Amino acid sequence: MYSFSDVDIDLDHTLDCGQVFRWEREGDWWVGVVNGDVIRARNDIESGTVLVDSSLPREFVASYFRLDDDLSYILDSIDKDRYIREAIQRYRGLRLIRQEPWECMISYMLATASSIPTIKKRISLLSRMFGDEIGEGYYSFPDAKSLADASESDICECKLGFRAGRIQKAAQQVA
């Protein structure tokens, strides 16, 4: 377990805004699967500290949460009118995630005409069926080869609807 001090990040805003779909809130902690590992993270906004429980290197987690980005500079550069100012105040600490490109692409292909809970369910089914178990109830995101080699009917079992063929075609092109 390790911590990051003096960081401007709000995990609630960052992990529950619809940019990533493999994180769930469990009490004071956020639990997610990233890069084939389970991460638990909790923050104290007032002290600016984030506590992380993961076997992933500290540098990887800092990069994933983009803690190296100068958030104050970014926000100052876009603070041009009252609407942006209100959004900055309301969502202070929201950071873009540096998600693995393959998972990001497939996640957004699954997002077409879908609610966030539905997207999460599809990704969970896809990971359970084609990913590797990495802990009790946790599965890695499937790699392109696993999906490229799967039958379209197996992919359809993940309740992807019309997206199944497109997901398989994308996997075949990437693999």
**What digits encode the pLDDT tens for the residues 81-129?**
999 999 999 999 999 999 999 999 999 999 988 999 999 999 999 999 9
Structure tokens at 123: 């990704």
CA distance 103 to 114: 17
CATH 1.10.340.30: which residues of the chain?
A: 101-174
Residue range(s) occupied by CATH 3.30.310.260 in the chain = 2-90
Indicate whether 175 pLDDT > 80: yes
Provide the CATH topology of domain 2-90: TATA-Binding Protein (3.30.310)
Tell how far CA 161 is from the center of its chain.
22
Q: What is the DSSP string of 73-138?
A: HHHHHH--SHHHHHHHHHTTT-------HHHHHHHHHHTTT--HHHHHHHHHHHHHHHS-EEETTE
Entry pTM: 0.91
CATH number for the domain whose boundaries are 101-174: 1.10.340.30
> What is the structure's pLDDT at 152?
84
